Amino acid sequence: MLRAILSTVVAGLFLGLVVQAANAEEIKCDGAIVKVEGENVTVNDGMSERMMKVEPGTQISSGGKPVSPMDLKVGQKVKCVCDRREGQMICTAMEIMRDTP
C-alpha cells in the first residue's frame, strides 16, 4: 500500500516537471546591460529592453570561464538564453562578450 502511494506521488511530481518544462518558452537575446538591480538584469537589444531574473542556477561566463552575478555591470554586452515561465523571463545562461568592460 505504501509503495503504491509513493509511486503515485513520484509519478505526479515527474509529470508536473514535464508539464512545466513543456510550458517554458526559450528566448535568446543579445545586447547591452542597461540596469542591474538585485537579481534582475535589464538588457537593451537595440529595439527593446528585456528584464530577466538571474537565479543561483544561472550559468554566467566571460571568456569561457564562470563568473558571479556580482560581475555583471551596466554597459557590458551579453548574449542570453532565457525561459519564459509564468509571465517572467528567467535567465538560464549568460555570456559576457570579450569586447566589453
Beta bridge partners of 54: 91
Question: Grid coordinates in use for 32?
Answer: 547591452
Q: What is the pTM of this model?
A: 0.72
Q: List, for residues 63-83, the tens digit of each pLDDT value.
A: 889 999 999 999 999 999 999
Question: Grid coordinates in use for 91?
Answer: 535567465
Tell me, yes or no, whether 13 lies in a domain.
no
Domain that holds residue 75: 25-96
Question: Grid coordinates in use for 99?
Answer: 569586447
Where residue 53 sits, what CATH number does that domain have? 2.40.50.320
Tell me, yes or no, whether 2 lies in a domain.
no
- pLDDT class for 31, splitting at 50, 70, 90? very high
Query: How many domains is the chain partitioned into structurally?
Result: 1
Lowest average pLDDT, out of 8-12, 37-41, 65-69, 76-80, goes to 8-12
